Structure 1
Amino acid sequence: MTRLSPDTLGVLPAAVARPSYDRSQVKAGVVHLGIGAFHRAHQAVMVDDVLGAGELRWGIRAVSLRSPAVRDQMVPQDGLYHLLVRDGADVATRLIGAVLDVTVAREDPAAVVAMLADADTHIVTLTVTEKGYKLDPATGALLADDADLAADLASLAAPLTAPGFLVAALAQRRAKRLPPFTAISCDNLPRNGHRLRGAVIALAQRHDPALADWIAEEGAFPETMVDRIVPATTAEDIAAFAREYGLVDQALVKSEPFTQWVIEDRFCGPRPDFGPGVQITAAVAPWEEAKLRLLNGAHSAIAYLGGLAGIAHVHEALEQPAMRAYVERLWDEAETTLSPPAELDIAAYRRALMARFDNSALMHRTQQIAMDGSQKLPQRLLATIADRRAAGQEISALTLGVAAWIRWQAGVNDLGQSHIVDDPLATRMAALLAGQDDAAGRVRAILTLEAVVPPALAQDTAFAALLTAHLSSLEDKGAMATLMAMTPQPA
């Protein structure tokens, strides 16, 4: 069947929204590191809106740090792809043209540094996942035992990490007397701009203290919050699109209708005139905290508990009354730790989140959300637990989410089905858990993970006891029985 390309767009029906601008006139003002489904369904769509408004200097040059998969999907299509916005039975289809090219960093690191150092590049965005920043999740310090980071600490001739590429490019810009770019993290890290800035300056300090000082004084690393549910695209999604539209789109992405991007008003150069989907604000932290602790915290808990119960998708998990009641209880606990901005009505936000989770059209897989738990739980659940414990408040629902994560490490669910533990610390956690004969021993082993567990919780005997009780129940009774015992249903 015919592949999507600029020459085959005539096949598409008129109902498909498409770029209103001339792509041949677009210049690249943005470089994005870590192109994946989320970027294509979120930031790239908002940049497409900017281009559609006539600001043609903000096209995106995209970089895949490791895998050639996305490059191979997009380059034959000249960067074009479709976004399917699904809301129940309704689907809105839009062709996105904001991505101009895709480069694989491992294949040509010099080319990536050159595009970052180009005078036309004013903004660099990143979606490299929590593990891509090479930071200890608990302390924010550079990882001491990461091989790629060690290589970048030794030399930036051919960078391997996101911080390495930024430092190498900023060094070139300084040498050419160009201003730095604004670097915008779009990952779910608390104080993501602060952490990215810390990683870049720490790495620069190891190579050139004067460069580190220049970055600190002249650069900009805004805090941001991003929000959109973007499930993984499946082979069936691509096949179904081809049957309906007569074109194969290997870069197809799908999402829910809701989208949000909140950016701190901290730029060191030009920026686009973003449209209504982007909120520029003086303080991102309250928005970020609410999203991490309510949306992301619940998502992780649903992923592990639902996954252990053999439930494949989020909306299916929430069809279980016990899971639904549990999520509300988790939110009751998390809500007390928030300081929401005046514009954010938490009760309305919770109702909207549940409606988003119920969107069956998304088919959001629990195993997808369960990836990289060691990088996610510190900010999604453990920080909330620490705040509740400091206030002398109950933590049962939040702690059950952590217990389910520990149980997930066994690699088998309650039905005896095996799964891959996809996590950068999977090998280390497996070694810690090996030989532990009971739940108490497994909890003690996990609590020694300083990169994951805050010190206050690692020494908290009451937390350890509750975590052990929950883990014992999950191991003995299974996830659904544990949930039903926690949230009894009406007779």
Structure 2
Amino acid sequence: MTLINDKTDARVALPAYDRKTLSHGIVHVGLGNFHRAHQAVYLDDLFARGLDHDWAITGAGVRAPDARMRAALLAQDCLSTVIELSAEGQSPRVVGAMIDYVDIAETNGPLIARMIDAATRIVSLTVTEGGYFVDPATETFDPTHPDIVADGAAPDAPRTVFGAIVAALAARRGAGQTPFTVMSCDNIPGNGDVTRDAVIGTARLSDPALADWIAANVAFPNSMVDRITPATGDRERALAASFGLSDPVPVTCEPFRQWVLQDSFTQGRPRLEEVGVTFTDNVHAYERMKIRILNGGHAIIAYAGALMGCDLADEAMSHPLVHAYFRKVEETEVLPQVHPVPEFTPEAYLELIDQRFSNPAVKDTLRRLCFDGSNRQPKFIVPAIADALKSDAPVDGLALESALWCRYCAGHFEDGTEIEPNDPDWDRLKNLATVARTRPQIWLEQPSVYGDLASNVRFAALFARWLTRLWEDGAQVTLDAYVKG
């Protein structure tokens, strides 16, 4: 299948460089929509400037379902359709920064071989917030996870991405090669540090000396990444087709994008500062602002909006009560915890987020934003609660957000309509949420989500009050009560 043909609309921006001049430099694991609308677009822009053509992407995956994406992309020469959506119109482009996609294998032999290749100087990751084997109770890498234990016992046949990285680094060390940089592009606080712990922790199970070598020689830069990128469905495929692009896996996204990156690389890097990437040692300030205001904000509107009958993010933002709830929580409970960065004050960033969430063209579903709360809540909401409690600051709205999540996980809307499973741990959450209707405290007794917050009397009382009110009075009355104080 050819993505670009004589039916391709003239409005589609094509790669502004000869793709035959590209050569491999980056292995990227996790070819989801976000990567193809973010890192791949930045590199596409860089290549169009005639720069760094030896940093092209080779795609990779470590799960059997990744084979479907591999087949789709290889069939169209690894090109991706990316369509930016705004109220002013649609801006389609074809991104050509990726040139290959390695075979998917259970023990990751092809992936390891490509990472051993001396041309590989960066291995980057988008493996989701829940893919780093972090124990939420300790907020550190969990070496006792069965998948990691298995990789420690069979380091030559790893099944996780971290086991594969360790195997490749072991081979490069044995051959006297310089190690590659490992660069996380996931929405996780301190993502470089988290990745470092996962790689070194996995290595230490089978080869402590190798773990020490990795600690001393491999770079794990922290980064903050940002672009709202909805899931692909029939609407997105039809939109691509309207531009003459027969693409089974097109990507749609908002116009805004941001990438803040620590300048720490073992074998050089592409000149991404030429296309808008911010290099700084203060990634954490950007990250805190983004995760607390944007990712936390998504959770604030998602469960409230869903329970109020909204389907899309922009619908939730246009709902007076949901929007008022969002603004009050952000302004009174989240912004006081966030510090300014060179580009934004917290107040200015909130205004930007309000505009982005309200974009009517993106059609970001609340179901997507509600997904995987068991992994997202401890990263995007619970830290804000914990910090506020430490400083004796208000947490009423954040406690209500936790109650809204619990109520959503009960598995049905207020009219009795079933909520389809929307979390990898859905059955357990649904059962727990049902019990929590009469015993609210049991919901907080999830150390993997809340840590020790269950023992905080003030927060537990607020959560119980809001959850009880949601069940007795419904979402509308409860949100109105919070907004009116």
Q: TM-score range by the shorter chain?
A: over 0.9
The answer on whether the counterparts of 1:293 and 1:379 sit within 8 Å (CA) in structure 2 is: no
Matched residue, 2:71: 72
Matched residue, 1:347: 347
Residue of structure 1 aligned with 2:445, choices 442, 448, 457: 448
The answer on whether the counterparts of 1:152 and 1:161 sit within 8 Å (CA) in structure 2 is: yes
State the Cα distance separating 1:312 from its structure 2 match: 0.8
Distance 1:52 1:136, change over 3 A: same
State the Cα distance separating 1:141 from its structure 2 match: 3.2
SS of match in other structure, 1:180: coil
Matched residue, 1:139: 138
State the Cα distance separating 1:157 from its structure 2 match: 2.4
State the Cα distance separating 1:453 from its structure 2 match: 0.9
The answer on whether the counterparts of 2:296 and 2:380 sit within 8 Å (CA) in structure 1 is: yes
State the Cα distance separating 1:430 from its structure 2 match: 4.1
State the Cα distance separating 1:426 from its structure 2 match: 3.0
1:426-437 map, 5 Å: 426-430=426-430, 432-433=432-433, 436=435
CA distance, structure 1, for counterparts of residue 424 and residue 137 of structure 2: 15
Matched residue, 2:220: 221
Q: Which moved more, 1:137-146 or 1:408-417?
A: 137-146
Matched residue, 2:232: 233
Matched residue, 1:165: 164
Q: Does residue 409 of the first structure (1) align with residue 409 of the second (2)?
A: yes
1:231-270 map, 5 Å: 231-242=230-241, 244-270=242-268
1:12-51 map, 5 Å: 12-51=8-47
- Equivalent AA in structure 2 for residue 352 of structure 1: L
The answer on whether the counterparts of 1:27 and 1:57 sit within 8 Å (CA) in structure 2 is: yes
State the Cα distance separating 1:89 from its structure 2 match: 4.1
The answer on whether the counterparts of 2:187 and 2:224 sit within 8 Å (CA) in structure 1 is: yes
Q: Which moved more, 1:46-55 or 1:386-395?
A: 46-55
1:200-215 map, 5 Å: 200-215=199-214
State the Cα distance separating 1:79 from its structure 2 match: 0.7
The answer on whether the counterparts of 1:131 and 1:424 sit within 8 Å (CA) in structure 2 is: no
CA distance, structure 2, for counterparts of residue 276 and residue 479 of structure 1: 44
The answer on whether the counterparts of 2:62 and 2:108 sit within 8 Å (CA) in structure 1 is: no
CA distance, structure 1, for counterparts of residue 397 and residue 217 of structure 2: 44
State the Cα distance separating 1:25 from its structure 2 match: 2.0
CA distance, structure 2, for counterparts of residue 411 and residue 316 of structure 1: 22
State the Cα distance separating 1:344 from its structure 2 match: 2.1
Q: Which moved more, 1:411-420 or 1:23-32?
A: 411-420
CA distance, structure 2, for counterparts of residue 240 and residue 432 of structure 1: 40
Distance 1:172 1:431, change over 3 A: farther
1:350-429 map, 5 Å: 350-429=350-429
CA distance, structure 2, for counterparts of residue 419 and residue 309 of structure 1: 13
- Equivalent AA in structure 2 for residue 74 of structure 1: L
Matched residue, 2:102: 103
CA distance, structure 1, for counterparts of residue 460 and residue 229 of structure 2: 34
Q: Which moved more, 1:36-45 or 1:268-277?
A: 268-277
1:271-350 map, 5 Å: 271-274=269-272, 275-332=274-331, 333-350=333-350
Matched length: 480
State the Cα distance separating 1:480 from its structure 2 match: 2.6
Matched residue, 1:191: 190
CA distance, structure 1, for counterparts of residue 417 and residue 156 of structure 2: 46
Matched residue, 1:62: 59
The answer on whether the counterparts of 1:30 and 1:125 sit within 8 Å (CA) in structure 2 is: yes
SS of match in other structure, 1:315: helix
CA distance, structure 1, for counterparts of residue 437 and residue 228 of structure 2: 34
CA distance, structure 2, for counterparts of residue 106 and residue 181 of structure 1: 22
Q: Which moved more, 1:53-62 or 1:37-46?
A: 53-62
State the Cα distance separating 1:286 from its structure 2 match: 0.5
The answer on whether the counterparts of 1:226 and 1:260 sit within 8 Å (CA) in structure 2 is: yes
Distance 1:136 1:108, change over 3 A: closer
SS of match in other structure, 2:60: strand
Q: Which moved more, 1:458-467 or 1:67-76?
A: 67-76
Q: Does residue 480 of the first structure (1) align with residue 479 of the second (2)?
A: no
Distance 1:320 1:271, change over 3 A: same
How many percent identity over aligned positions? 38
State the Cα distance separating 1:204 from its structure 2 match: 0.5
SS of match in other structure, 2:43: helix
- Equivalent AA in structure 1 for residue 33 of structure 2: A
Matched residue, 1:90: 89
User: Which consecutive residues of structure 2, in runs of 5 or more, have no partner in the other structure?
Assistant: none
Matched residue, 1:154: 153
Q: Which moved more, 1:67-76 or 1:139-148?
A: 139-148
Distance 1:234 1:92, change over 3 A: same
CA distance, structure 1, for counterparts of residue 163 and residue 267 of structure 2: 21
CA distance, structure 1, for counterparts of residue 39 and residue 339 of structure 2: 26
Residue of structure 2 aligned with 1:9, choices 5, 8, 17: 5
Listed one character per residue, the Cα deviations across residues 168-226 of structure 1 (whole Å, up to 9, x for unaligned) are 11111111111111111111111111111011111111111111111100111111100
The answer on whether the counterparts of 2:224 and 2:287 sit within 8 Å (CA) in structure 1 is: yes
Listed one character per residue, the Cα deviations across residues 256-310 of structure 1 (whole Å, up to 9, x for unaligned) are 0100000012111110001332111011000000101000001012111112223
Matched residue, 1:53: 49
The answer on whether the counterparts of 2:410 and 2:431 sit within 8 Å (CA) in structure 1 is: no
Listed one character per residue, the Cα deviations across residues 43-81 of structure 1 (whole Å, up to 9, x for unaligned) are 110111122222111110111221122113211111112
The answer on whether the counterparts of 2:340 and 2:346 sit within 8 Å (CA) in structure 1 is: yes
TM-score, normalised to structure 1, is 0.94
